[in-house]
Amino acid sequence: MFYYTEIWTDGAVRRFIRNVGIENLNDLFILREADRIGNGTKQGTPEVFINFKERIRKILEIDNAFKIKDLDIDGNIIMEKLNLKIRSNYW
């Protein structure tokens, strides 16, 4: 299982995701909730789990966002297509 607190850094959350496997996250949360119910004293989903799931969602959204390095083009190609020359003196 796992013990999450809100003091975990984003890096710690990313390591958690990597170690568990993104494809296993939902099953792990289901197992954790079943364990809580199975002990007979606790019901429902604790707020800390809800917050953790939301934090994971936000981190995955940020990490999957489109970035400039994802482009198949760079400034040299643009300059070539627009027939622009590099200026040696900017003054």
Q: How far is CA 50 from CA 66, 72, 86, in A?
A: 26, 38, 53
Instruction: Tell me: pLDDT of 75 over 70.
Output: yes
Q: Is the pTM of this model over 0.75?
A: no
Q: For residue 7, which amino acid is it?
A: I
Chain segment 33-64, per-residue pLDDT in tens: 888 888 887 777 889 989 999 999 999 999 88
Domain boundaries, the chain: 10-81
User: Using an 8 Å Cβ cutoff, are 42 and 36 in contact?
Assistant: yes
Q: For residue 12, which amino acid is it?
A: A
**Predicted local distance difference test score (pLDDT) of residue 87:** 73
Instruction: Tell me: pLDDT of 14 over 80.
Output: yes
**Predicted local distance difference test score (pLDDT) of residue 28:** 93
Here the tokens at position 36 are 């809580």
Greater model confidence, 91 or 26: 26
